[in-house]
Amino acid sequence: MAPIDEKPPSVDRIEDVAQKTALSDEEEEFTPAEQRKIIHRVDRRLVTMTGLAYCISLMDRTNLSMAAIAGLVQDLELDKHGRYSIVVLMFFVPYIIFQPPMTIIIRKLGPTIFLSAIIISWAVIMIGTGFAKNFAQLTVLRVLLGVLEAGYFPGCVYLLSCWYTRFDVQKRFSIFYLIGCVASALSGILAFGLMQLNGAHGLGGWQWIFILEGVITGAIGLLCFVFLVDFPDRAHKSWRFLNRKECAFIVRRINQDRNDGDLEAFSLKKFLKPALDLKIWGFAMIFFCITTVTYAIAYFLPIILREGMGFGVGEAQCLVAPPYVLAGMVMYSTAWVGDRYRTRGPILIGNALLCIIGLPMMGFAKGDATRYAGVFLTVAGANANIPACMAYQANNVRGQWTRALSSATLVGFGGLGGIVSSLVFREKDAPGYLPGMYAAIACNILIILVVLALTLWFWFSNRQAEQGKRVIEGDSRFRYTL
């Protein structure tokens, strides 16, 4: 479709329009059954492939902790001068810096070529990491991985939000992230298996973890070249996917829901202008607080289980998995509730409260059983809030390039959460990491405060819009989702 600069306002109320997922039967060329089949085809290709690649992304960025207790720390002398924390931190510096330009590039090149190419590049870096000889080489490789991973997560958040209506999106985000959580759940078990190759061909167990997981990453990258799909306006070009009429239906569906389904012409001013909107930074701050906890779990939980709770190396790697089963259940159930009842803020607050209960149990309880139970609540609450925050942001912005910038800032602040987690969970505080525990609790309290502030503002704005005193996001139909 031809790019457009502006979209005409509509006099329809968004509440009325949102009750339908497509045009009326008289106006729509596809029957309701055909429409459902189209949406399910999108789910199978888009959510499955992006989730599978995100699973690999999480595995590649967090397998450092598994390698750490498999001999990496000793072989590369990372236990000196805070080197392990530095290696963790250096991934996130380029990861944050390169996200805005990467989000622009994905819209220009298309996700199939761009995302598939960077996934294959991760594979090369992972295999190279298996042959790192010292701290300096490992740090350089982690920086390169940060640059190349910078485009994936914001690109997927942007891509997914362009395909679904506002009250369909959280379930899809939760499935996308749930598939990714499989990496967190199974990476420890996989790492334990790969570690058994210790000594084979003169390589250590931690080296085999990086090398063989790199091979898996390369295979997924090749699959993405074939099966990943483009944005709705040009997805008819994707292999064995939707035709032009079916893609046009998706665009109509999005336009009826929020009137931003068509491609907008790019300009730097249009891309940067939303940065003046405080709610964009509110969403980003929520995501920052969430990822401070999730990255701390990803990078330090095996060490806490090993050194703090006294489990063996194999036990520590395998015990990472069970909490993610509960996380998946909480994630999808809260997503169903959020989409069914068209609410976002209460879901975020509820999950944050789970963390506020779980973190003190995990950090301050005396018995290992109670501490491990706290791990379940913390992992569930923090990870369930990732898709909840993504949906909260996606529901409350309008416009292609506003969505692109918002996705980049959201995930960029998520990267800042990774930096903070590496700084507050310091090696000298092991095995309890009490300063990190306090910081994680504070982050969840801040989530609740920011969500309450945004909810109050959204309620006030919606009330003004109902009274005809203002137009939200340049569209008279649009209403914020509380």
The percentage of the chain sitting over the pLDDT mark of 90, rounded to a whole number, equals: 50
pLDDT of residue 82: 81
Domains and CATH numbers, the chain: 28-258+268-474 (1.20.1250.20)
Confidence (pTM): 0.81
Sequence-distant (6+) residues with CB within 8 A of 316 are 69, 188, 302, 303, 305, 306
Q: What gap in Å lies between CA 400 and CA 301, rounded to an integer?
A: 38
Cβ(190)–Cβ(213) under 8 Å? yes
Q: What is the pLDDT of residue 474?
A: 81
pLDDT tens digits for range 240-255: 999 999 999 999 999 8
Backbone angles phi, psi at 110, to 5 degrees: 95, 145
Is 394 within 8 Å of 265 (Cβ atoms)?
Answer: no
Q: Is the predicted pLDDT of residue 28 greater than 90, yes or no?
A: no
Written as one letter, the residue type at 218 is G
pLDDT of residue 395: 92
Name the nearest CA neighbour of 61 among 186, 197, 187, 179.
Answer: 187
Q: How far apart are CA 456 and CA 92, in angstroms?
A: 33
Q: What is the phi/psi pair of residue 145, to 5°?
A: -65, -40
C-beta of residue 115 within 8 angstroms of C-beta of residue 53? yes
In DSSP notation, 13-47 reads: -HHHHTT-SS--TTT-SS-HHHHHHHHHHHIIIII
Residue 319 CA to residue 325 CA, distance in Å, equals 11
Confidence of residue 445 (pLDDT cuts 50, 70, 90): very high
Query: pLDDT tens-digit profile of 362-373?
Result: 888 888 889 999
Scanning the structure block, which residue is given the tokens 């298309």?
110
pLDDT category, 278, cuts 50, 70, 90?
very high
pLDDT at position 448 over 80: yes
Cα 353 to Cα 113, 333, 359, 408, distances in angstroms: 41, 16, 10, 27
Q: Which residues pair with 4 in a beta bridge?
A: 264
Q: What is the pLDDT of residue 18?
A: 36
Helix (H, G, I), strand (E, B) or coil at 186: helix
C-beta of residue 112 within 8 angstroms of C-beta of residue 230: yes
Phi and psi at residue 319, in whole multiples of 5°? -75, -5
Q: What are phi and psi of 4, to 5 degrees?
A: -125, 150
**What's the CA gap between 39 and 50, in Å, rounded?**
16
Token pair recorded at residue 28: 């729509």
Could you tell me which residues come within 8 angstroms of residue 353 by beta carbon, excluding any fewer than 6 positions away?
381, 444, 448
Is the separation of the CB atoms in 264 and 400 below 8 Å?
A: yes
- Digit-coded pLDDT (tens) for 156-186: 888 888 899 988 989 999 999 888 777 667 7
Number of other CB atoms surrounding residue 75 within 10 Å: 15
The pLDDT of residue 126:
95
Q: Is residue 272 pLDDT above 90, yes or no?
A: no
Q: Report the range of poorest mean pLDDT among 19-23, 226-230, 405-409, 439-443.
A: 19-23
Q: Residues 22, 30: contact at Cβ < 8 Å?
A: yes
Residues 35 and 49 sit within 8 Å (Cβ to Cβ): no
At 176, the amino acid letter reads F
Owner of token pair 């990943």: 228
What's the rounded Cα separation, in Å, for the pair 412 and 153? 10
Q: Are 124 and 237 in contact (CB under 8 A)?
A: no
Residue 27 pLDDT class (50, 70, 90 cuts): low
**CB within 8 Å of 55: residues ≥ 6 apart:** 179, 180, 181, 182, 183
